[in-house]
Amino acid sequence: MWKVTRKGLAAHKLRFVLTALAVVLGVSFICGTLVLTATIQKTFDDLFADINRGTDAAVRSANVIKGDFGNDQRANVPASLVTEVLKTPTVEAAVGNIQPYAQAVDKNGKAIGGNGPPTFGLGWDPNPKLNQFHLVVGRPPQADDEIVVDKGTADKGHFTVGDEVTILTTKVPKKYKLVGIAKFGTVDSLAGASIVLFTPHEVQRIAGVNNEFSQISVVAKPGVSQTQVAEDIRKTLVADGQTQYQVITGKALTKENQDAVHKALGFISTALLVFAFVALIVGMFIIYNTFSIVVAQRMREMALLRAIGASKRQVLGSVIGEAVVVGVLASAIGVAAGIGLSIGLKAVMNAVGFQIPGSGVVLRPNAVIIGLLVGTIVTIISAVVPARQAARVPPIAAMRAVALERPINRFRRLAIGGVILALGLLTLFLGLFGSSGISFVGLGALLMLVGVFVVSPLFARQLARVIGVPLTKFRGIVGSLSRENAARNPRRTATTGAAVMIAVSLVGFITIFAASANASIGSAIDQQLKTDYIVTLKGGGGPGGGGLSPELAKKISGLPQVAASTPIRLGAAEIGGSKTFLAAADPEAIPQLYDFNGVAGSIANLAPNEIAISTRKASSKHLKLDDVVSARFVQTGLVPLQVGFIYRNNTLAGDYIISLASFERNFPPQDQLDTQIFVKLKPGVSPVQGRAAIEPLVAQYPNSALKDNAQYKADQKKQVNQVLVLVYVLLFLAVIIAFIGIVNTMTLSIYERTQEIGLLRAVGSSRRQVRSMVRWEAAIIALFGTLLGIAMALFFGWAVVRALHDQGFTKFSAAPFSLVFIVVITGLATLVWASLPARRASRLDVLKAIDQN
């Protein structure tokens, strides 16, 4: 039977190449993701090992609020702790450090970085064991107005030693003299971060602290192990009753840093893998379809095999065998392509400034194994149903022209499809409205799509005919032929359409979701913001923090043209035991700037020991006015806060608000950075006069931008759309695979209809007409899938937006223009893309086609 398998593959090469392409693309995506993640992970593992190389132990506050991506927040420790630690006999050196926000401004007045890797300042550490920076030119900073920057930053800003460089901090921007340029270890910059090195004294000033550090790094005496020195320090501290601190070894610190990166990378790679699996699932439909068609075309051959004595098992085996060969080959190519892809992506990342040192990529066996397994298994699963169909063919079919196409069992399809659909709906709603989470949403959506696919052959003929109606009007006989061809094989049309449906439903969903987000934010800005101007942070602040110096807000509120203004500050805290973000504003000013739609209490006299909460949180946490919630902040630990105000509008404001005074008390000084400043002008001050007054202040802070409400709205929209574009890019592969499916189906159909096409040509249809017939049939099938996809997208979009209503998604937007655009684009793309099989069809040898005897 192996011979039959091999011959089967050889005879249908093109078809299997197209099938394999779907697997290759999906597998390369998976493998590329795994390899790239491993490579980045290795980079960071090495990096942290480098950073902490000289550190034998670290002492820091035990009061921590864990960040999702390792950006833990901790309380500062007093400088006196250094003296305390130094008491330990096994400690050779102990140096405190703190990393406040600091951002260099280039010669054109533009802030460097700020929209990705962090920008921060460090004290120049005289201890060579703890300082990983190596000067390439110049000398260390010795006076408080001297700095050193990393080489990456110097290159970006075209700085040379001796230049005057303005640095933005939590304080007023200040000019420094650049006295040196340093490399971090062997690289120009620490993974793209922009770092300014000050004197230890100056760092204290820009952090706004007075003899405080975020961490103390310790070097042990020679011959003392890390565990030993950590244990000794712990003892010293306990002896002095200082139990609020935590001592960990350098190794543990490195591991902690590495784990944090692994977690963040895990998040990214999971997200990428989800898209890779979407692509593979779309691919499964293509594989299933190809095998179904090929098997159907070879039914007589299968029957002959059965007639001459092959068992059902052997026939089944020969088809599965083909699937295994295709799966393994395609997966192997996919793995190789994936490795190539990751090398390319790495080069791109290096080019955009995210430096990954080393020339190669990290290839772990799991990337290869997972790629091979997933690709092969997916192919085999997709071929099981067609293989069973092949095995079921009666031997008599070889002799007689029995109907080989099984009739569609309407009842069974409806029942099975209905059950899957209902199950999907249930799962989706559990995920959306219950506590089951996002994976249930995904699973539910997938089940629903499969359910629709199972049912769709029942109406594929009718729907294809409806879609084709305009064609019969405008394209005459060619249109009728396309329409009938698209309708003649409902299973094939449904399966090919299903691949398109899945891709389009996701594209459509994300489009609707983004449009709804934009509509919700837009309407909130229009209806709730009472500002004239908003000062925003350029680049949105990277994960490494960054923000506006509070000095700017102070200056703006002092302007005679300004009636009211407040900075907005964001921070993480635990409220009622769960980690959350809260915003801070000036309670006196904010009522004039924002319409909260309050239901109880008042924001205007929100005291530092009070908190404002949204009605959503009030109802979920069963809180009323004057109830006390327990909050935990890094700087101050557990703090009881009384509910002083309850409000409805949370789209822009979020769920928790405290006063600025409270924020200043509960968060470390170096975290006192604003994300926005709301401004309202005095009556009688025109917007132009207002802008003229504020603009010069904003100009002094190149990381800030002045926006009126319309510009602010446009900004927000732009941010949403950036995410949208990213998701489009990631979904693109699934779309491509769905399109490959259309070409595949058309190629197979043409092969099957060789005689028909020959006949058409014989009775006088031009090549052009044959081409157009094939293209329009493809377009009908594509539109069939697209329309189903759009219908599903509308449903998913509506359900998700509905579920997120309480979280500020107050508006549902069906994005009609975008959806129509998607339909038109898929139609046009198919017409173009289908010219490949169309050409093939028009080139068929008429004589061969009609030669039947």
Partner 1 sequence: MTTTIPPTTTLAARAVGASKIYGTGDTAVRALDAINVEFPRAQYTAIMGPSGSGKSTLLHCLAGLDTLTSGHVYLGDIDLSTLSDKEVTRIRRDRVGFVFQTFNLLPTLTAIENITLPLALAGHKPDQAWLDRIIDTVSLRDRLEHRPSELSGGQQQRVAVARALVTKPEIIFADEPTGNLDSRSSAEILGFLQRAVEEFGQTIVMVTHDPISASYSNRVVFLADGHIVDELLDPTADAVLGKMRNLGGE
Q: Which is nearer to partner 1, 731 or 773 (CB)?
A: 773
Asked whether 143 and 205 are in contact (CB, 8 A), the reply is: no
Report the distance separating Cα 298 and Cα 295, nearest Å. 5
Order of strands across the sheet with 91-97?
91-97, 215-220, 57-61, 245-249
Asked whether 250 and 58 are in contact (CB, 8 A), the reply is: yes
Task: Look up residue 377 and give its two tokens.
Answer: 């298994």
Q: Which is nearer to partner 1, 419 or 846 (CB)?
A: 846
The one-character DSSP state at 170 is: S
Asked whether 556 and 565 are in contact (CB, 8 A), the reply is: yes
Q: Which is nearer to partner 1, 408 or 430 (CB)?
A: 408
Asked whether 199 and 123 are in contact (CB, 8 A), the reply is: yes
The one-character DSSP state at 406 is: P
Q: Shortest approach of partner 1 to residue 745 CB, angstroms? A: 16
Q: Which is nearer to partner 1, 668 or 758 (CB)?
A: 758
Q: Shortest approach of partner 1 to residue 755 CB, angstroms? A: 5
Q: Name the helix (H) or strand (E) containing 666.
A: helix 660-666
Q: Which is nearer to partner 1, 484 or 551 (CB)?
A: 484
Q: Shortest approach of partner 1 to residue 847 CB, angstroms? A: 5
Q: Shortest approach of partner 1 to residue 651 CB, angstroms? A: 54
Q: Which is nearer to partner 1, 388 or 767 (CB)?
A: 767
Q: Which is nearer to partner 1, 489 or 747 (CB)?
A: 489
Q: Shortest approach of partner 1 to residue 840 CB, angstroms? A: 16
Please name which of 516, 514, 509 lies closest in space to residue 822, comparing C-alpha atoms: 509
Q: Shortest approach of partner 1 to residue 852 CB, angstroms? A: 5
Q: Rule CB under 8 A: which residues touch partner 1?
A: 476-478, 480-481, 484-485, 488, 755-756, 759-767, 769, 846-847, 850, 852-853
Q: Shortest approach of partner 1 to residue 844 CB, angstroms? A: 12
Return the half-sphere exposure (C-beta side, CA atoms, 13 A cut-off) of residue 64: 13
Q: Shortest approach of partner 1 to residue 401 CB, angstroms? A: 12
Q: Shortest approach of partner 1 to residue 830 CB, angstroms? A: 20
Q: Which is nearer to partner 1, 28 or 769 (CB)?
A: 769
Please name which of 539, 541, 547, 537 lies closest in space to residue 672, comparing C-alpha atoms: 547
* Burial readout 42-56 (b: 16 or more C-beta within 10 A, e: otherwise): bbbbebbebbbebbb
Task: Look up residue 113 and give its two tokens.
Answer: 């970085």
The structure tokens 């395609």 sit at 330
Please name which of 571, 563, 569, 555 lies closest in space to residue 593, comparing C-alpha atoms: 563
Q: Shortest approach of partner 1 to residue 841 CB, angstroms? A: 14
Report the distance separating Cα 570 and Cα 656, nearest Å. 10
Q: Shortest approach of partner 1 to residue 837 CB, angstroms? A: 18
Rounded-to-10 torsion of CA 707, 712, 714, 718: 110
Asked whether 504 and 786 are in contact (CB, 8 A), the reply is: yes
Q: Which is nearer to partner 1, 761 or 775 (CB)?
A: 761
Q: Which is nearer to partner 1, 566 or 749 (CB)?
A: 749
Asked whether 59 and 218 are in contact (CB, 8 A), the reply is: yes
Asked whether 546 and 112 are in contact (CB, 8 A), the reply is: no
Q: Shortest approach of partner 1 to residue 764 CB, angstroms? A: 2
Task: Look up residue 465 and give its two tokens.
Answer: 């005919």
Asked whether 203 and 210 are in contact (CB, 8 A), the reply is: no
Q: Which is nearer to partner 1, 105 or 478 (CB)?
A: 478
Q: Tell whether the torsion through CA atoms of 422, 424, 425 and 429 is positive or negative.
A: positive
Q: Shortest approach of partner 1 to residue 409 CB, angstroms? A: 21
**CA angle at 441 for the pair 439 and 445, rounded to the nearest 5°:** 120
Asked whether 20 and 330 are in contact (CB, 8 A), the reply is: yes
Report the distance separating Cα 453 and Cα 284, nearest Å. 13
The beta strand positions in 87-184, using DSSP E, are 91-97, 103-105, 119-123, 133-138, 146-150, 164-168, 174-184
Task: Look up residue 229 and give its two tokens.
Answer: 């020195």
Which residues are 535's β-sheet partners?
Answer: 677, 706
Q: Which is nearer to partner 1, 142 or 852 (CB)?
A: 852
Asked whether 838 and 749 are in contact (CB, 8 A), the reply is: no
Q: Which is nearer to partner 1, 689 or 766 (CB)?
A: 766
Q: Shortest approach of partner 1 to residue 414 CB, angstroms? A: 26
Q: Which is nearer to partner 1, 759 or 831 (CB)?
A: 759
Q: Shortest approach of partner 1 to residue 467 CB, angstroms? A: 16
User: Max Cα separation, the chain?
Assistant: 104
Asked whether 673 and 567 are in contact (CB, 8 A), the reply is: no
Q: Which is nearer to partner 1, 484 or 715 (CB)?
A: 484
